[in-house]
Amino acid sequence: MKFLQTLAVALVFSQAVSAQKQDSIMLRKIFDEALVNGKSYQNLEYLCKKIGPRLSGSANAQKAVDWTKQLMDGYGFDKVYLQEIMVPHWVRGAKEVAKIISGSKQFTVPIAALGGTVATPKAGLTAQVIELKSLDELKTLGERAIKGKIVFFNRAFDPKPIETGTSYGEAGDQRRSGPSEAAKYGAVGVIVRSLTHAIDDYPHTGATTFNQGGLNIPAAAISTKGANLLSSLLKSGPVKFYFKQDCQWLPDAVSYNVVGEITGTEKPNEFITVGGHLDSWDLAEGAHDDGTGVMQSIEVLRILKALNYKPKHSIRAVMFMNEENGTRGGKKYAELAKQNSEKHIAAIESDEGGFTPRGFSFEASPALVKNLNTNWKSLFEPYEADRLTVGGSGADIGALGDSIPGVVLIGFRPDSQRYFDIHHTPNDVFENVNKRELELGGAAMAGLVYLIDQHGLPAGN
Amino acid sequence: MKFLQTLAVALVFSQAVSAQKQDSIMLRKIFDEALVNGKSYQNLEYLCKKIGPRLSGSANAQKAVDWTKQLMDGYGFDKVYLQEIMVPHWVRGAKEVAKIISGSKQFTVPIAALGGTVATPKAGLTAQVIELKSLDELKTLGERAIKGKIVFFNRAFDPKPIETGTSYGEAGDQRRSGPSEAAKYGAVGVIVRSLTHAIDDYPHTGATTFNQGGLNIPAAAISTKGANLLSSLLKSGPVKFYFKQDCQWLPDAVSYNVVGEITGTEKPNEFITVGGHLDSWDLAEGAHDDGTGVMQSIEVLRILKALNYKPKHSIRAVMFMNEENGTRGGKKYAELAKQNSEKHIAAIESDEGGFTPRGFSFEASPALVKNLNTNWKSLFEPYEADRLTVGGSGADIGALGDSIPGVVLIGFRPDSQRYFDIHHTPNDVFENVNKRELELGGAAMAGLVYLIDQHGLPAGN
């Protein structure tokens, strides 16, 4: 009996070793396919150079929908289809103008209207500036100090966190909620220090949110050099700020998520989603944000198909629409998943740039992530993409997590150092993407999809 | 007795935990100092923009020597001094010209003379081209096929290895030995495919070696696009190549290593060296190769001093001269170390670019590296610089390893994906260095120096 037990243990162990070996071979094939025959880089070039900026509701966003559908049709995926949604439609209008007025001196500074804000009067807006470092100071200072002024939020990125997303998260309230909060205290406009470590002349746009019915005031990001200048001038006395922006809201527009699918051979109604967002800010090509994510997602399916891999579960690449200013694509995807009684095992989002992969973060229990480290870390180690941690995923798949019980949300985690140098600026262009970094990321995602398809994810997230 | 044993074990364990805690706190201080008060980026800007290219023997190399000495004097290190050496002095002369001649068609292509080669005749050199993929083919084809021709080595980088240095190593014999080997078979010139994954218009220069007394022939690197064009034209029939280069050897020149030191409080004659090389190719600013390495090395000492850390051993930052075409600085450093009966514990070289740190590789036994992983990996993990592997170190410290028994040679390992895109090209400029990536690398190096100073390195390498 003891002998049989030992034999059984040995057998299970040898099967485990053999599975590990098979997985290791498959991951090497995936990376080879990505590095030798990869298509994500040329596809990204098309998206960036032939289509370009593609904010929700724009003609370019529609072109991007049409082209990615056509691309996936061409790859012969089992299903390629659109999910219709209504998206917000905000336009920047004429390029912004801004000046610091300090005594008799004027300094032109680079600004960019924040997405979702309104135009200044046609002649522009001039008011005295008050510099704050946090939203809390609004309350401390009160309406008397703020009314009629332009509030200048100037809390810099903290240099100490190793991952730049942490600093972005910490400073981000200034852009996201600063304008709406300042409006409540009577501010006539808001200028926000650009959300970046870099000290340069590029303003970083991005969404700001006004509650339904809340007062919408003109608000813009100022470059970090501009912010430093404004702050230094404020030290020597009162300063006025002049700015002019031309943005407006148009009626909601029809748009689409684009979905490609390889249908599962064993459990076709159980899904693993990989996705990024197809829309991008209007100032640049949306290369790292998030052209790389959508091209990697398509690449995951292309790689698996090229290797003639027949997944057990259905694998979907989703180009979500409207991450930047509404996440309506993500919400629609979740809504339809629920409506169609789909079972979702996992969803992976790539929306932190197409840089060298470092690993993945899981919105899951430490126990699950410990299991993954025990079983899968060594498989990713040769590809230097083996940091498997508890952490966030992505804005587009959040709604899926809320709608579908049991789905594990996963964020693709590339190296974070360069992302916020170019994020939401005119520098987010194809030339700033490295071919191999992009390909390695797509391969890492394909590897994870393969492992989840083969072995599932331990429960308990 | 048992109780006492248990107590002793508990005590040792608790001391180990406490030391680990102290180390963890010190590493955080080091990274904070680098990220908050770092000087390496501004120093690098000076080296790149105010000095620029600095090939051995050039006036700029001397400027770099003077300025780095002055910089370290300014930081108040305990000793700052020069080590005199004679360096080879090769100059490129006028910009190269090259054309592919295919029937009646001519195509201008970008080339760069390889360092160490000679000029063509003044009017240029024209000969029939023979394309080879390896040095072995020289032998197979023999003198009859090669004599009087221009040999075109065109083996591309293998895309499959994850670390790009592997592909560089594999393809590099074409540049390093291709010209001297081809000369033995009567080739009149050599054109080498640029050593890079990138497909673009930039030729990558670099050293080639002719044995003492061996025949030196004109040899140049061609851009990868140029190489692809040349190869495709060769498929349809005989092709001639014309090129003109103006380079020459001048007499050896006086130059220097620059050494800064914080003297050890307990063992002043035992050394830990951190270094990079001060010379750079003449085509660009030598930002990543190796301005980042020298500025990180100085930064290591600056950080330790700023934190008021008093090392037990002497810590040296060494700006080696002449890595690119002779490594005479490295040899001199080793020679003097031996002459002065110095004991060297470890030497760390940063010469793979100033990209995000991934870890370190050790020219040491697997057992030593396993120990380091057990004891130190977790300390570097929060900084994502925790890959501690067996592997190579750097060209400048190699001679030290040969001269001084027991020294452990260590290579700083940053992310490798972008290095060979710009290596030895006009694109190796300050603008392609990310401030935080540079700073994180310097901090990782300082962290390792601190740990070695505190705990030594287990013997047995």
Residue A360 counted as domain residue: yes
Q: Which residues of A touch B162 (CB under 8 A)?
A: 31, 382-384, 440
In this structure, are A128 and A230 located in the same domain?
yes
Structural domains in chain A (count) = 2
Query: In degrees, to the nearest 5, what angle opens at C-alpha A361 toward C-alphas A355 and A363?
Result: 145
What per-residue confidence (pLDDT) applies to A212?
Answer: 78
Task: Determine the average pLDDT of the residues in B316-336.
Answer: 98
Cis amide linkage into residue B351, ω under 30° from 0: no
A52 pLDDT above the threshold of 80:
yes
Q: How confident is the model at residue A461 (pLDDT cuts 50, 70, 90)?
A: very low
| Mean pLDDT value across chain A | 96
Residue B378 CA to residue B386 CA, distance in Å, equals 7
What per-residue confidence (pLDDT) applies to B461?
Answer: 43
Please give the residue of chain A at the shortest CA–CA distance from B358.
A384
In this structure, are B97 and B65 located in the same domain?
no
In this structure, are B256 and B368 located in the same domain?
yes
B437/A421 touch (CB, cutoff 8 Å), yes or no:
no
In this structure, are A160 and A270 located in the same domain?
no
Task: Determine the average pLDDT of the residues in A319-339.
Answer: 98
DSSP-derived 3-state class of residue B352: coil
| Mean pLDDT value across chain B | 96
- Say if residues B224 and B157 touch (Cβ distance below 8 Å): no
| A382 close contact with B: CB closer than 8 A | yes
Q: Which of A247, A265, A295 is the last residue of a domain?
A: A247
Task: Determine the average pLDDT of the residues in A441-456.
Answer: 98
For B417, which of A32, A160, A436 is closest by C-beta distance? A436
ipTM attached to this prediction: 0.94
What per-residue confidence (pLDDT) applies to A79?
Answer: 98
In this structure, are A260 and A230 located in the same domain?
no
DSSP-derived 3-state class of residue A303: helix
Token couple for B357: 């740190």
In this structure, are B279 and B235 located in the same domain?
no
Residue B21 counted as domain residue: no
- Say if residues B105 and B346 touch (Cβ distance below 8 Å): no
Residue A10 counted as domain residue: no
pLDDT in tens, B358-411: 999 999 999 999 999 999 999 999 999 999 999 999 999 999 999 999 999 999
Q: Pick the range with the lowest mean pLDDT from A36-40, A273-277, A421-425, B8-12.
A: B8-12
What per-residue confidence (pLDDT) applies to B10?
Answer: 64
Task: Determine the average pLDDT of the residues in B323-350.
Answer: 98
B460 pLDDT above the threshold of 50:
no
Q: Which of B292, B356, B433 to mutate to test the interface with A (most CBs of A within 10 A)?
A: B356
Residue B441 counted as domain residue: yes
Nearest to B222 by CA among B264, B262, B177, B174: B174
Residue B316 counted as domain residue: yes
Q: Which of B231, B246, B261 is the last residue of a domain?
A: B246
Task: Determine the average pLDDT of the residues in A300-318.
Answer: 98
Per the document, the length of chain A is 461
Residue B332 CA to residue B320 CA, distance in Å, equals 9
Going by the DSSP 8-state scheme, the letter that residue B413 receives in this structure is: E
Task: Determine the average pLDDT of the residues in A344-370.
Answer: 97
A5 pLDDT above the threshold of 80:
no
Q: Which residues of A touch B435 (CB under 8 A)?
A: 197-198
Q: Which helix (H) or strand (E) holds A232?
A: helix A224-234
Task: Determine the average pLDDT of the residues in B246-261.
Answer: 97
Q: Which residues of B touch A415 (CB under 8 A)?
A: 356, 384, 415
Residue B3 counted as domain residue: no
pLDDT in tens, A18-30: 888 999 999 999 9
Task: State the DSSP string of A440-461.
Answer: HHHHHHHHHHHHHHHH---S--
* Residue A221 structural domain: 95-247
In this structure, are A101 and A70 located in the same domain?
no
pLDDT in tens, A62-100: 999 999 999 999 999 999 999 999 999 999 999 999 999
pLDDT in tens, B27-79: 999 999 999 999 999 999 999 999 999 999 999 999 999 999 999 999 999 99
Task: Determine the average pLDDT of the residues in B230-236.
Answer: 97
Residue B9 counted as domain residue: no
Task: State the DSSP string of A152-205.
Answer: EE-PPPPS--SSHHHHHHHHTHHHHTHHHHHHHTT-SEEEEE-SSS--SS----
In this structure, are A260 and A295 located in the same domain?
yes
In this structure, are B309 and B325 located in the same domain?
yes
What per-residue confidence (pLDDT) applies to B290?
Answer: 98
Q: Pairing state of beta strands B248-262 and B79-91?
A: antiparallel
pLDDT in tens, B408-455: 999 999 999 999 999 999 999 999 999 999 999 999 999 999 999 999
Residue A189 CA to residue A301 CA, distance in Å, equals 46
Please give the residue of chain A at the shortest CA–CA distance from B157.
A36
Residue A435 CA to residue A423 CA, distance in Å, equals 19
A102 pLDDT above the threshold of 60:
yes
What per-residue confidence (pLDDT) applies to A459?
Answer: 63
pLDDT in tens, A229-260: 999 999 999 999 999 999 999 999 999 999 99
pLDDT in tens, B118-136: 999 999 999 999 999 999 9
What pTM, to 2 d.p., does this model score? Answer: 0.95
Residue A209 counted as domain residue: yes
CA distance B162 to chain A (A): 6
pLDDT in tens, B281-301: 999 999 999 999 999 999 999
CATH code (residue A242): 3.50.30.30
Task: Determine the average pLDDT of the residues in A392-409.
Answer: 97
Q: Which of B218, B246, B274 is the last residue of a domain?
A: B246
- Say if residues A58 and A282 touch (Cβ distance below 8 Å): yes
In this structure, are B342 and B385 located in the same domain?
yes
Q: Which helix (H) or strand (E) holds A13?
A: helix A2-37
CA A360 from centroid of its chain's CA atoms: 14
HEC profile of B240-288 = EEEEECCCEEEEEEEEEEEEEEECCCCEEEEEEEEEEECCCCCCCCCHH
In this structure, are A37 and A160 located in the same domain?
no
CATH code (residue A444): 3.40.630.10
| B246 close contact with A: CB closer than 8 A | no
B415/A159 touch (CB, cutoff 8 Å), yes or no:
no
In this structure, are A56 and A101 located in the same domain?
no
What per-residue confidence (pLDDT) applies to A381?
Answer: 97
